[in-house]
Each structure stands twice: as structure tokens, then as C-alpha cells.
Chain A
Amino acid sequence: MLGPGIAAYLILSVVLFATGAFGVLIRRSPLIILLALELMLNAGNLALIAFSRQLGNGDGQIFALTVMVVAAAEAVLGLGLIVAVSRKRVELDVDKLTTLSG
């Protein structure tokens, strides 16, 4: 039995990417924004792996592995920064982080 075609995977990855992008733009908690960023990166991964499977070459899968490493580094750094901000006893809300403006 055949699974869903490449189109289904692509549509799912576009939906995930859009969800992530939308989340980054409208959510205010930095934690949720980090989650949404991960969603965007992994939407890219899904598209890469689907294409790799369709094309029958491994480049996309290697690319996706690299992206996972980078995404992990980014998440660690993001969480570190959030912890550092929250230690300053500042409410975690990106709309209220407005020391810098002008």
C-alpha cells in the first residue's frame, strides 16, 4: 500500500512553516516564540527529507541532520537568554522588553 504522495508532505511542511511564522509574529512569550522558531526550522527539515526521498539522493537528509544540530544550538542559546532575562525579575513578555526603542 502506498503512503501519501510528495504533495501531502509539502503541504504539511508549508502549513507547519506558516504556523511557526505566525507564532513568532503574534505570540508574546519568548518561550512560545522559540517553540515557533523550532517549528519553522523543522518544517524546512520535513520538506528537505520529503524531497530527498522523492529525488532518491541523500543530500537533503544530510542537510536535515545539520539543521537539527544548529536548531539545538539555537534553542540552548535562546533558553539561556530567557533564563538570564527572568533572573532580572522581568516579566517574560516581548512587548514589555522595551529598554531599547526610539
Chain B
Amino acid sequence: MNEFTAPSIDWSALSPVLVSLGGAVVVLLVSLFLPVRIRRGFGAVVASVCFLAAGAAAIALFAADETGRGIVADALRRDRLAELAEIFVMGAGLLTVGVSFRERGGGDRAGEYYALLLTAASGMAFFVSASNLMTLFLGLEWFSICLYVLTAIAVERLSGLEAGLKYLIVGSFGSAVLLFGSALVYGATGAIGFEQIAAGTDDAERLFVVAGLAMILVGLAFKASAAPFHMWTPDVYEGAPTPITGFMSAATKVAALVVTLRVLVTVFPSEAELWTVALAVIVCISLAWGNLAALVQTNVKRMLAYSSISHAGFLLMAIAAGNALGGRALLYYLIAYSAVSVGSFAVVAIRERELAGPVTLASLAGFGWERPFLGTSMALFMFGFIGLPPAGIFLGKFYVFSAVIDRGWTWLAIVGVVATVVSVYYYAGVIRAMFMQRRELAVVAAGGSPPTDRALVAAVAVAVVVTIGSFVAADPLLEIARDAVALLPFPEG
């Protein structure tokens, strides 16, 4: 008879996942018994506390230990890469709570809203620490399913339902492709653990490994909304409640890109030639498609959706470099990008509430003068997206370009610079609309100007601080990013 040994589980390393998940359960159950008018406040408070606690736990874990090791019998892995990504996700979640606090309508389902937000963040924390193909798939679906519901949570709006259904169909398609790829890789190597697969690829059937790699990459590219797998992005970003759009554009990108980096570098080091070239192709398509489509948009949310596709291009460029500099550049870029992204959607959200309708370039007219703080912040975010100082994306782009040049791909950096120049047009269009366009009489606030929304203004202020702070404090942040990727076996130096 065999001795039974329970798998070792490092509960403390799981704490970011558990705290946010526990918070979700509390919000969901307790808000059932609360009167509708205080559900929103209760959910927001619990969610903020949980995001803060989970973020603090991730920070403590990051500071405590620089080694990486398996937790839960090697199904998950704690290392600084996962912990840093968890910090980003929890930060984005916290800002999202601030942005959604005064969202109109839906008070009776505020409990579900915050519970799903917490569950999505928890799923992302699980996803970024995934260490075998099963936890990878499980984590992916865990947060995706939460986001499908959040997209469609305003069930009285057909556009929300439509966006949710489209997201579900396209997202599941991507997951199914990833699953089939995982099955092929498992068949070729006989293992589902990332390190065991990497050890087994040498004497594996190469056809299966390459096909599996391609399908896993496609599945992750769907989540990162990189072209040509981006077709859901504009519709979902437009149809989802704006705070959720901000959360998706920041946290989903963080999770998807960190996992893409981890999977490609740790699972497929032997195919590095192949995936760097494949990524370079995806980068070029994303930059071209995202930027060109953004030029003709008048709806600001759709424009930002295309902008997020083009930023997926820049972020994947860092991974395509296949070196440690690229890994650092990716994480640093993500800090600044997440802040700018959540911040800009927050400004769109408040304008949307004022107008009770979609925000277009025309309806932004005069916004910069009406609300100087929000207008200036939005202008800063737009400068940030372009990649101008004083926003951290400036340095982020710089490091991404130097990473690909380091690899010997100067042409890819040139593509990136051209894309940046093109993007000036549509980002500057927002600033022009806010500050230099005459206000049309037709654009009036719906039901009078809404009261000052302190939670949202605070979230925007934090986003501004992080945007500028990531530029000012670039050195310590780059150190942190370097520590985070120190354990990854990069193919080139």
C-alpha cells in the first residue's frame, strides 16, 4: 500500500488569489441581504479593501523572496514575474472601483458587479502564476467568463448584450484554439508542466510542437487583442460599461502579455527563432491595423479600442525581441500603459454620464474648459499614449525599440516609430476636440450637471500620478522589472 502524501500548498503565496476570491464571495452573499441603496457602497468598500489587501500581499511576496518555486504541487508558480503582474492587476481593479462607483443605474446588481470584478482579478492573479497547461487554460477561462458577464451586465442595453455575446463567441473560439494547441503539445512531450515540456521538446514530434505553439500563441493573441485576432475588441470595448472597458484594456493586457512572455520563454526556448518571427509579423499587423482604423473613428471608446490594439503591437514587440531587455521593457511599459488606459476610460466614463450617451469627438467639444482637471488629465493621457514625456510610455517605447535593435531588428523599431507618428493624428484629435473646438449647443449635460464624483476624480488623479511617476521614477521601476524577469531563461542573453 502506498504512503499517501498530500501535495504541498504554499497558502501565503496564494493569498492574492484567495483574498480577492474571498472578497467576491462576501460581496455576493452579504449584498443579497442589504437594501438596494447601500449595496453599491458596500460592494465598493469591500472590493477596494480586497484589492488593497491583495495588492499589499503581492507586494510583500515580491519583497520577501527572489526565488521562484512551485506552489500547489507545481501547478502554479510563485515568482516575481507573477507577483508584479498581480500588483498591476489589483491596482487596475482598485482604480476601476473608483471609476464605477457612480455609474448610473444597476444599483440592484451592484453586488454581482463588484463580485465579478473581484473574481476576474482573482482569475488573472491565478492565470499569471500558471505553471502548467491546465492551470493556464483554467485561469484564462476563469477571468474571461467573468469579463463576458461584466460586459453584458447592463442587461437592459442591447449593445451591452451584443458585446457580451460577441466577446463570448470570439473569446471562446480563442480559448478552444489554445486548448487544442495545449493538447498537441501534451501529446508531443507527454507533459503539461511548463518546465517538463521545455525539457521534452528535443526528442518530440516537431510537427506537433510547432502546431501546438502556433495555436497557443493564437489563443493568447486573442486575449491580448493583437491583430489579426482583434476583431472583437472595438465592439466589446464600445458595448461594455466604460469602467469595465478600462479594466479590460489594462488588466487583461497585463495578464495576457505576462503569460505570453512566460509561456514563450519557458516552454518553447527551443523554438525561439520561430516565435520571435511570428510575433514580429503579429506586431506589424497590429500596428498597421490598429493605427489606420483608429484614424477614422469618431466614437472615442472605439478609437481607444483601436489604440489598445496598436499598443498590443508595441507590447508584443518587447516579447518578440526575445531578450531580457525586452522583458524589462514589457513590464515597465505595462505600468505606464495600464495607468494611462484606466485613466482615459475614466474620463470617457464621466463624460458619458454627463451626456447619457456615447462620447464622440464632437461631444467632447469644450470639455477641457468645463472640467479643467479632467480635461488636462485626458490631454496628459493622450500625450502618454503617443509616447511623449512626461508619461512613462515615452521611456517604455524607447526601451522596447532598443530591445528589438539589440536583437538586430532595426526595421521593426522603424515600423514602431512610423506607427507612433501616425498615432499622433488621432490622439491629438481628442485634445483638439476638448480644447479648441467650439461647443455645439446640441451638446448639453443630461439632467443637469452630475455632482462631482470624488471617487472617479481620485482614480484619475492616481492614474495621473502613476503616469508621470513612472517617468520620474523610471530607474527604480526598471530595477523592479529586471528583478521580475531575472528568472526567465531568455533565448538571447
- Beta-carbon contact of A44 and B162 below 8 Å: no
For the complex formed, measure the closest distance between the CB of A101 and the CB atoms of chain B, giving whole angstroms: 7
| Contact between chains at A44 and B149 (CB < 8 Å) | no
A81 touches B141 (CB 8 A): no
Residue among B149, B162, B190 making CB contact with A77, cutoff 8 Å? B149
Asked if B166 is at the interface (CB within 8 A of a chain A CB), the reply is yes
Rounded to whole Å, the gap between the CB of A35 and the closest CB of chain B is: 12
Per the bound structure, the CA–CA distance linking A102 and B305 in Å amounts to 12
Establish whether residues A81 and B180, one from each chain, have CB atoms under 8 Å apart when the complex forms: no
A-B contact count (CB 8 A): 133
Please report which residues of chain B, range 109-151, place their CB below 8 angstroms from some CB of chain A when the two chains form the complex: 133-134, 137-138, 141, 145, 148-149
Q: Residue B176 at the A interface, CB < 8 A?
A: yes
| A47 engages B163 (CB within 8 Å) | no
- In the complex with contacts A51-B187, A100-B238, A88-B138 CB distance below 8 A: no
Q: How far is the CA of A34 from the CA of B179 in the complex (A)?
A: 16
Residue contact A51 to B186, C-beta cutoff 8 Å: yes
Residues on B with beta carbons closer than 8 Å to the beta carbon of A73: 141, 145
Closest to A39 in B: B176
Chain B contributes a number of interface residues (CB within 8 A of A) equal to: 43
Which A residues are in CB contact (< 8 Å) with B173? 21, 24, 37, 40
Question: Which of B159, B186, B235 has the most chain A CB atoms closer than 10 A to its own CB?
Answer: B186
A97 to B452, CA, bound (A): 36
Which chain B residues lie closer than 8 Å to A30 at the CB level?
Answer: 165, 169
Q: Which of A24, A47, A74, A85 contacts B184 (CB 8 A)?
A: A47
**Besides the known contacts A47-B187, A66-B134, A84-B155, 9 further A-B residue pairs in the complex with CB atoms under 8 A apart:** A17-B180, A20-B176, A44-B182, A45-B183, A47-B180, A63-B182, A77-B168, A78-B172, A100-B234
Kindly state the separation between the CA atoms of A60 and B180 in the bound complex, as whole angstroms.
12
B residues whose Cβ falls under 8 Å from a Cβ of A: 133-134, 137-138, 141, 145, 148-149, 152, 155, 158-159, 161-166, 168-169, 172-173, 175-177, 179-180, 182-184, 186-187, 190-192, 234-235, 238-239, 297-299, 302
Q: Give the most central of A30, A47, A73: most B CB within 10 Å.
A: A47
Q: Which residues of B contact A40 (CB under 8 A)?
A: 173, 176-177, 179-180
B190 touching A57, Cβ below 8 Å: yes
Roughly how many angstroms separate A12 CA and B173 CA in the complex, as a whole number? Answer: 19
User: B235: which of A45, A67, A85, A100 is its contact (CB, 8 Å)?
Assistant: A100
Contact status A59-B186, CB under 8 Å: yes
Knowing A30-B169, A59-B191 are in contact, say whether A70-B137 is a contact too (CB < 8 A): yes
Main secondary structure, interface of B, reads: helix
B145 near A74 with CB under 8 A, answer yes
User: Are B134 and A74 closer than 8 Å at their CB atoms?
Assistant: no
The verdict on A67 contacting B187 (CB below 8 Å), with A40-B173, A74-B172, A84-B152 known, is no
A-B contact pairs, 18 of them (CB 8 A): A13-B183, A24-B173, A37-B169, A37-B172, A40-B173, A41-B172, A44-B179, A50-B187, A54-B187, A59-B134, A59-B186, A70-B137, A85-B162, A85-B165, A94-B165, A102-B234, A102-B297, A102-B302
Contact indicator B164/A47 (Cβ below 8 Å): no
Known A47-B184, A51-B187, A74-B168: A100·B149 in contact at CB below 8 Å: no
A59 touches B192 (CB 8 A): yes
CA A84 to CA B157, docked complex, whole Å: 10
**Cα separation A95 to B240 with both chains bound (whole Å):** 19
Note all chain B residues with C-beta closer than 8 A to A43: 176, 180
A11–B186 Cα distance when bound, in Å, is 16
Interface string of A65-102 (1 = CB under 8 A from B): 01100100110011001101100101000100101111
For chain A residues 4-40, which have a beta carbon within 8 Å of chain B?
10, 13, 17, 20-21, 24, 30, 33-34, 37, 40
Give the Cβ gap from A99 to chain B, nearest Cβ, in Å: 5
Q: Give the CA-CA distance A66 to B448 in the complex, in Å.
A: 51
Query: B182: which A residues are within 8 A, CB to CB?
Result: 44, 48, 63
Alpha-carbon distance A51/B188, docked complex (angstroms) = 9
Q: In the complex the two chains form, what is the Cα distance from A63 to B178 in whole Å?
A: 13
CB of A55 within 8 Å of the partner chain: yes
The smallest beta-carbon distance between A92 and chain B, in angstroms, is 10
User: Do B163 and A100 touch across chains, with their CB atoms under 8 A apart?
Assistant: yes
Contact A88 B161, CB 8 Å, known A30-B169, A55-B190, A70-B138: yes
Instruction: Give complex CA distance A34, B165 in Å.
Output: 10
Q: Are A74 and B141 in contact (CB under 8 A)?
A: yes
